[in-house]
Chains A and B, each alone.
Chain A
């Protein structure tokens, strides 16, 4: 790696809210020098057809993620807790819409 690579604009993750009432959804990433530029570029790259009503950008190096290698160990504890689902409980037909 030369100094060239260090010159690269940092990477940002882009989240777009498609319309009021919905949540922001990750839609991709882009390089930008600063937050203002990241927002402007996100608009041009990811909402050219009015796909958004709000944009979040966050520096990719600021995101902390779970380890895919630990996926099973990490998420398995919820596997045997079927009683957390409403369907676990058998109720008389007349009140089953509960």
Chain B
């Protein structure tokens, strides 16, 4: 799973601006930093970095982590409703992976000097964003396969380039994530393929319905179009981002069209067709007002998702405290 929210910084955060006045010392350090980026060097946690680079990364990595954690909810909804034990075990493993991915990413963000509690607090108070895709409901079993195929497929397209991100702890976490993510997409596609090949008419219709609902939100995951993505240039300059939103979106659509044909489903876009000249698919106009509405908190499940996270955190407080109290007693016992 991936967060596109970094690209919305201009709209949902006001502190993205660089300071205009810098000291000569800072300027020299920044020049050296830029040279390292240009040389393709990796930046490690304790290296000097511009404040804006640090802030951008904390925001992007923590929002990415939040997306993994909130992303467990739509699928968690179906663990107890999976049609077979095999599918249940697969879904459990996938949701557990997402928890793990969230943890890798939180740890990477913490190397930049922000605490886990601060990040949780930002999520729970609504200050931090997570990927808009998780604010849509999962209405049928076919949603599980479709999320794996489309949502994880889009996430992989987004995430593979981040394995070469200039910030090394993030890049290392992403390598680990990408290695595990391919299972997520394949299990989803295979689950849909099973229904499309061996299923009843009703099951096939269920798959088509899920694809109809998830297609547009999936291609929105790549973030706003390049001309409305004000921070992209700086992120590209710093090697945090390697491809533009529109480039990745096009790549995803081109890859998905054939997969849809093999599956036997229609992608719900009448304008989707091959453009010989561009050697790519043309596609219809994306409803960005929906995207901004969901980001701003008015998606179908925003309140429910956030409440589920806040409740989980609050309900777990006694466990965290008890474990800490127990641990604090241990040295005393040894000393005695």
Chain A positions near chain B (C-beta within 8 angstroms): 4-5, 7-9, 11, 27-31, 33-34, 37, 44-45, 48-49, 65, 67-69
Identify 17 residue pairs between A and B in the complex whose beta-carbon atoms are under 8 Å apart, listed by A's number. Answer: A7-B321, A7-B324, A8-B117, A9-B320, A9-B323, A11-B110, A27-B176, A28-B107, A29-B107, A33-B320, A34-B330, A37-B327, A45-B104, A48-B93, A48-B180, A65-B46, A67-B46
Q: Provided the pairs A34-B323, A48-B100, A68-B44 are in contact, do residues A7 and B117 lie with their beta carbons within 8 angstroms? A: yes
Main secondary structure of the interface of B (DSSP, over half): helix
Q: Provided the pairs A31-B116, A45-B103 are in contact, do residues A37 and B320 lie with their beta carbons within 8 angstroms? A: no
> Interface code B307-336, partner A: CB below 8 Å = 1, 0 otherwise?
000000000000011011011001000000
Q: Provided the pairs A34-B323, A48-B96, A49-B180 are in contact, do residues A5 and B118 lie with their beta carbons within 8 angstroms? A: yes
Is B115 interfacial (CB-CB < 8 Å)? Answer: yes
Establish whether residues B110 and A29, one from each chain, have CB atoms under 8 Å apart when the complex forms. Answer: yes
Which A residues touch B100, using CB under 8 A?
Answer: 44-45, 48
Which A residues touch B118, using CB under 8 A?
Answer: 5
Establish whether residues B323 and A33, one from each chain, have CB atoms under 8 Å apart when the complex forms. Answer: yes
CA distance A11 to B108 in the complex (A): 12
Min distance, Cβ B246 to any Cβ of chain A, angstroms = 33
Q: Provided the pairs A9-B324, A45-B100, A45-B103 are in contact, do residues A68 and B46 lie with their beta carbons within 8 angstroms? A: yes
Establish whether residues A28 and B324, one from each chain, have CB atoms under 8 Å apart when the complex forms. Answer: no
